[in-house]
Amino acid sequence: MTAVHETESLINVVNTCDNFRPHLSSEPLVPFLLAPNIRPALGLLRPSVVAALRADNDWRNAHGRPLAWNIPKDSDTDNGNGVPLPYVAFSPPLASGTPAARTLALADTLERWRAAANDGDGKYSANEFAGVIGGTRWRAEWYDVYLTPGGALRADGRDPLNVLEAPMNARAYVFSMERSACALFGVITYGVHMTVYEQDAHGCVQVWVPRRALTKPTFPGMLDNSVAGGIPGGTTVLDTVVKEATEEASLDPELVRRLARAVGAVSYYFQTKAGWLQPEVEYVYDMCLEPGEAQLAPMDGEVEYFELMSLDEIIVHMHAGDFKPNCALVLIDFMPRYVEITQRLHGQLDLEKW
């Protein structure tokens, strides 16, 4: 087994990823609801987004378009008496309409915000949302949004613009939206992480660790987990694992389906340095390879290279801040299964006195 130094704590590494608590926010956050009488909230909106949604309603009204947002009047952020705005919701016709209608309405809004975030050459502008949806940050990929985060994910494979009712296996499905814009609305997103490792006869573990490409729009050049990616709308968790393992790490799909083992999930609430909110749920897999059974290698240009690292080396890189925060969190989740990391964190129940 790999030794972990008694003096090293990983709490700060965890807190770097799980770094936000809504009730401690320094700015007023407005619940984003399906309808005023339906909870829980789908997300949390910062004042600038509330103002932009109000302006979007004004634009729609001026152009003879149906309003998309139900926003209580009085102020962009509060009612003038220090009382936060109670909510922003879909307009009544959209709230009672189909998922496809909500998806289309939000897509229309986001396309105009995207245009405002880009100048004529497609580069970032001074628009506040440019660092989120401008330029290459726009992913052109659907993410599904759910009313209850613990429900089943939509896995019917349909284009969200054709979903006229919530699928039977995903009753909590509400709508889909552009992946990069999820941070603007503070909605929960879903992804997969798979730690691919080798273990020798003595129990020593080495993990295949990639370095993210310098061209990545987020966390360029940082260390990542072996296989990781967001779950596109309508896609199963396992299919996402296989897709990412094939495209990012050049692994054989059949090998992945045979060896990938679901081990749970982690969730965290991450706030970016710019203040955007990214609550996330990651479905976690382990995959054990015999030494030399497969060689992970970049394929789609999102990874610079892969290397095998011991758990001790990984911990050193964690403390140095070299890992993308959520990848460090998933690797910490991995370690108790293969190293006695918890023994030093908990009392021994005075077992020697029993």
**Is position 98 within any domain?**
yes
For the domain that residue 265 is a member of, what is the CATH number?
A: 3.90.79.10
pLDDT given for residue 81 in this prediction: 53
Give the whole-number percent of the chain exceeding pLDDT 90: 77
Is the pLDDT reported for residue 236 higher than 60?
A: yes
The verdict on residue 3 lying in a domain is no
Within a domain: residue 347? no
Q: Which two tokens mark 1?
A: 């087994």
The answer as to whether 90 is a domain residue is: yes
Same domain, 177 and 217: no
Residues 159 and 223 grouped into a single domain: no
pLDDT of residue 353: 57
Residue 5 falls inside a structural domain: no
**312 and 271 in one domain?**
yes
Residue 200 lies in a domain: yes
To the nearest 10°, report the CA torsion of 182, 184, 64, 62. -170
194 and 181 together in one domain? no
Mean pLDDT of the region 184-209: 95
Instruction: Quote the number of domains for the chain.
Output: 2
pLDDT in tens, 275-323: 999 999 999 999 999 998 999 999 988 899 999 999 999 999 999 999 9
The structure tokens listed for 128 are 């506040």
Is residue 268 located within the same domain as residue 225? yes
User: Are 106 and 221 members of one domain?
Assistant: no
What is the dihedral angle through the alpha carbons of 263, 17, 191, 287, rounded to the nearest 10 degrees?
A: -40
| pLDDT exceeds cutoff 80 at 4 | no
Asked if residue 109 lies in contact with residue 102, where contact means CB atoms within 8 angstroms, the answer is: no
Q: Which of 185, 203, 228 is the last residue of a domain?
A: 185
Q: Cα(166)–Cα(174) distance, rounded to whole angstroms?
A: 7
Same domain, 33 and 128: yes
pLDDT, residue 125, reads: 58
Is position 352 within any domain? no
Beta strand 189-199 with 277-289 is: parallel
pTM, to two decimals: 0.90
Distance from C-alpha of 170 to C-alpha of 127, rounded to nearest angstrom: 36
Q: Which of 230, 238, 225, 231 is nearest to 330 (CA)?
A: 225
The answer to whether the beta carbons of residues 183 and 190 sit under 8 Å apart is no
Mean pLDDT confidence for 131-152: 91
Is 220 in the same domain as 174?
no
Residue 230 and residue 330 in one domain: yes
pLDDT at 325 over 50: yes
Q: Kindly state whether residues 231 and 300 are assigned to the same domain.
A: yes
User: How large is the average pLDDT for residues 43-52?
Assistant: 96
- pLDDT band for position 170 (cuts 50, 70, 90): low
- In three state form, how does the secondary structure of the chain look? CCCCCCCCCCHHHHHHHCCCCHHHCCCCCEEEECCCCCCCCCEEECHHHHHHHHHHHHHHHHCCCCCCEECCCCCCCECCCCCECCCEEECHHHHCCCHHHHHHHHHHHHHHHHHHHECCCCCECCCCCHHHHCHHHCCCCEEEEECCCCCCCCCCCCCHHHCCCCCCCCCCEEEEEEHHHHHHHCCCEEEEEEEEEEECCCCCEEEEEEEECCCCCCCCCCECCCEEEECCCCCCHHHHHHHHHHHHHCCCHHHHHHHCEEEEEEEEEEECCCCCEEEEEEEEEEEEECCCCCCCCCCCCCEEEEEEEEHHHHHHHHHCCCECHHHHHHHHHHHHHCCCCCCCCCCCCCHHHC
Asked whether residue 329 is domain-assigned, the answer is: yes
Structural domain containing residue 92? 29-185
179 lies in the same domain as 36: yes
- From 185, 206, 233, give the residue that closes a domain: 185
In this structure, the answer to whether residues 193 and 181 fall within a common structural domain is no
- Please give the average per-residue pLDDT across 151-177, as a whole number: 86
Look at residues 162, 185, 208 and tell me which one is the last residue of a structural domain.
185
